[in-house]
Structure 1
Amino acid sequence: MNKLSVVIPCYNEEQTLADVVAKVGSADCAGLDLEIVIVDDCSADNSAAIAETLANSDHRVRLIRHPINQGKGAALRTGFTAASGDLVIVQDADLEYDPADYVKLLAPILNGEADVVYGSRFLDRGATEAHYLLHGLANRFLTGLSNLLTGLKLTDMETCYKLVPKRLLDQITITENRFGIEPEITAKLAHMKPKPRLVEVPVSYINRSYAEGKKIGWKDGVSAIRCILKFNLLR
């Protein structure tokens, strides 16, 4: 393992994008080279201009722009294809997740103890307390339903922090354009043969409100149920 690719899907995140990229750029990556792939999903604010400035000032940063808004899943599909690292992780463009946790996420893979690592917000009491109650309950329900059909024992299927080798991502065809990508990736990893060793590590989390730009809503929860059933039962 020589390089870590951090894929940042971005839509209207002008307030936080530069700070997130700065934190990613200074994160402890356990000695791996770093690549940052920003996929701007046709933002209506100054996100794309900010990302372009970041790419021009740091050779590790690449910018890909969607001509029309397609959703987080579509942005990640683009980013995963473009990533050149041995390992790939998703970093949302807000400040809910802390890149300081990368070193914890990388350890099980670099130590040969796991193939895939998820960062769980529910293994860290402080992160759990930062959840809004409704979101926390919905997440636990979706994770439980996913576990029932995948055979996994996850505590946080919906986590942004999924650290996956590029070679495994290349075997997955992502079809979901929005937040359904989370159960889709989980199901497709779980049903691979041979099945990857997947472990969780606790990560920190600061939940933001809708007023601060949070985008996921109840319709995405309904869609997640559809995706869990679809990608586990209709393979």
Structure 2
Amino acid sequence: MNLSIIIPLLNEQESIPELHQWIVKVMIAHNYTYEIIFIDDGSTDNSWTIIENLSQEKSNVKGIRFMRNFGKSQALHAGFAKAQGDVVITMDADLQDSPEEIPDLYEMITKQKFDLVSGWKKKRYDSVVFKNLPSKLFNWAARKTSGVQLNDFNCGLKAYKNLVIKNIEVSGEMHRYIPVLAKNAGFSKIGEKVVKHQARKYGESKFGVSRFINGFLDLITIWFLSKYGKRPMHLFGAGGVLMFIIGFLATGFIISIKLIRLYSGYKTVLVTENPLFYIALTAMIIGSQLFLAGFLGEIILRTKNNEERYKISSEVNF
């Protein structure tokens, strides 16, 4: 099979039929063998009914329905687990991603041998204040932190080798960092393609301020995981050692002053009257806490179970 097209969605009943027709038109024009996997992330409208109807008409239209809204990352994870195509395309269901881009993305994976190709919506039709400017700031921070030189981490239109999606774990809100996850997994040939951004035709944007804030928090998380995810003691232990050194140096200085005063005949003062005493005490307490955090991280890493992150209520054509 040439292509698996994975489409996570939430309340997109108006867009699904039109998007399906558009994709089929492109697939027929290029003679691709394909499957379309819709993941209904807890829609409250008629999205699932439409997916079921399409799946009855076309055996290559498949669907996964979550019991409630678990998030885009979980939807992609479920789609990745089911995808069978040699090349996997992800796109949004709101018609802002154009299926006309799929052939070029497919060629970049199969002929130019990229592991992953990310779309870049260079010209956008979103709000400048609430989406464009925050997105530019976010992408700049993501480039600096991850070392992956992409202009648009948030673009949902991406192409992957099947091997890539089978070797990365997308969880939490990490879908926007899939290129970083791929790089950390050893897939270094990551490309980018300028793609068309369509104005939203139906419904409302799911973007909010919380998503922007969560994006930066996730960026910190993935930086930590990429550097210390397999060895948390290296980070917390180093911090603990530093705190202990500061504490011991401060303690040594206090003892030295005490002895000098004692043997020189000066009046001695209580240790607790010296501000360095509290610095030493605080440093040692913080050092102990950092060591404890490192030990707990190592224990959790070695005993963790792969818990189910979402619940599926229905599947069609699998």
Structure 2 length normalisation: TM-score?
0.66
Q: For 1:132, give the aligned amino acid.
A: S
1:165, CA displacement in angstroms? 1.3
Tell whether the 8 Å contact from 1:120 to 1:202 is kept in structure 2 after alignment: yes
Structure 1 ranges of 4+ moved more than 3 A: 28-32
Distance 1:63-1:234 versus aligned 2 partners, 3 A rule = closer
CA RMSD of superposed structures (Å): 1.8
Equivalent in the alignment of 1:16 = 15
Q: For 1:146, give the aligned amino acid.
A: A
Q: For 2:32, give the aligned amino acid.
A: L
Aligned match for 1:189, one of 182, 191, 199: 182
Partner Cα distance (2:143, 2:44) in 1: 37
Tell whether the 8 Å contact from 2:148 to 2:179 is kept in structure 1 after alignment: no
Structure 1 runs not aligned, ≥5 long: none
Partner Cα distance (1:181, 1:103) in 2: 23
Q: For 1:187, give the aligned amino acid.
A: V
1:207, CA displacement in angstroms? 3.7
1:234, CA displacement in angstroms? 2.8
Partner Cα distance (1:166, 1:108) in 2: 14
1:113, CA displacement in angstroms? 4.2
Q: Deviations over 1:171-201 (max 9, x none)?
A: 111111x5x4212x122112232x4211111
**Residue 94 (structure 1) aligned with residue 89 (structure 2):** no
Structure 1 length normalisation: TM-score?
0.89
Over alpha carbons, which structure has the higher Rg? 2
Written as runs of structure 1 = structure 2, the 5 A alignment for 1:142-221 is: 142-176=138-172, 178=173, 180-183=174-177, 185-193=178-186, 195-208=187-200, 212-221=203-212
Equivalent in the alignment of 1:111 = 111
Percent same amino acid among aligned pairs? 25
Tell whether the 8 Å contact from 1:142 to 1:224 is kept in structure 2 after alignment: yes
Q: For 2:205, give the aligned amino acid.
A: K
Q: Deviations over 1:46-89 (max 9, x none)?
A: 11000101111112101111122212111111111111111111
Aligned match for 1:132, one of 115, 127, 130: 127
Q: For 2:25, give the aligned amino acid.
A: S
Give the helix-richer structure, 1 or 2: 2
Count of paired positions: 224
Query: Is the partner of 2:26 in helix, strand or coil?
Result: coil
Equivalent in the alignment of 1:63 = 63
Which region of structure 1 is more displaced relative to structure 2, 23-32 or 213-222? 23-32
1:31, CA displacement in angstroms? 4.5
Partner Cα distance (1:218, 1:146) in 2: 18
Equivalent in the alignment of 2:306 = none
Structure 2 runs not aligned, ≥5 long: 227-318
**Residue 232 (structure 1) aligned with residue 223 (structure 2):** yes
Q: For 2:120, give the aligned amino acid.
A: S
Partner Cα distance (2:223, 2:199) in 1: 29
Q: For 2:176, give the aligned amino acid.
A: E
Q: Deviations over 1:122-145 (max 9, x none)?
A: 1xxxx33x2321211111111111
